[in-house]
Amino acid sequence: MKDIPADFPFSETVGDIDIINEEIAGVKNLEEVKLFTPELVDQEAREIYIQACLIMNKICCSRKIKPYLHELYMVLDNLVGKLLIHPEMMIYAALQKKSDTFTFYHAVNVCVFSVFLGRITGIKKTELRELALAGIMHDIGKLDIPAEIWNKKGLLSELEYKKVKEHSLRSFFHLVNLEQVDRQSLIGILQHHERLDGSGYPHGIKEDELHLWGRILGIADVFDAYTSERVYRKAHSHYQGLEYLWQNSSRFDKRLLKTFIRNLSFFPIGSRVLLNTGESGIIMGFHKYAPHRPIVRVKKKDGIGENLLDLAENQTIFIQKLVQDA
């Protein structure tokens, strides 16, 4: 195994591989394994997700927030409640989306991922509601920027990029005069593109100047943007999204980032996965320091026998997606 840097995520829990459990260890053929189904989202989570999308569509189409704020808070209460009881169901609902349609999907997903991370880090339920609002409204300022800029397939001009960077400030101004909106929500919205190393915008703040909610929203926003389809590229898998975040970890709060990666790297033992090589395999075990790079059992290319593939030692190979049983 390769040497692990001292600052690698989860370095405090580095240990042996979580060995294959007995049930799976005794299986001789991949086809014998009962598969985990990632698409299994319960009806309640699905309905909450759709309701959140619909209310965001109303807000974006009307370009008005205040008339829909009460209805929005009711939906967010349901969303937070579901994330507190069955977080995996809301996460699966969010991960199913791949289109970069701002009007609802990205907004709802950032909301889900932000509350998911906030919940794990110990934010109180009453505050999670306000974090949810910040997540779902963080990009509302995009409505003020011409659609042709967002939909441009080529590189943005300097002037266009400057316009794009106005959106977090514009989002802030859309909400600042609404008395129901909490101050922390406003700060999170304003700071969701700020980075710990000072490389972000609109103000280039860094380290202790960056509010907790700005840090949370920043991670959620980048993760969902990277795993969403854009006009100029296809969507990356959510596993690639986790790796991208870690490769850019100097820009984010490492404690929050480690927590996010650790808790979003769910590969139940026995899950069937599709690799970027086109091979399919079964999850057999994990490294505690890198749960998003598990041990996968794949068939040999000649079709005779199987290999254990350690993704922690094969950095060019990654998981594209979890797949269903045929």
Q: Which residues are catalytic?
A: 142
325 CB-side CA count, 13 A: 11
| Helices and strands (H, E) in the chain, number of each type | 13, 5
SS3 state of residue 70: helix
From 216, 165, 164, select the one nearest 188 (Cα to Cα). Answer: 216
Of how many residues is the chain composed? 326
Peptide bond just before 38 cis, omega within 30 deg:
no
From 176, 12, 192, select the one nearest 117 (Cα to Cα). Answer: 192
SS3 state of residue 178: coil
Do residues 21 and 299 touch, judged by C-beta distance below 8 A? no
Residue where the block lists tokens 């190979």:
317
SS3 state of residue 293: coil
Measure the CA–CA gap between 84 and 78, rounded to whole angstroms.
10
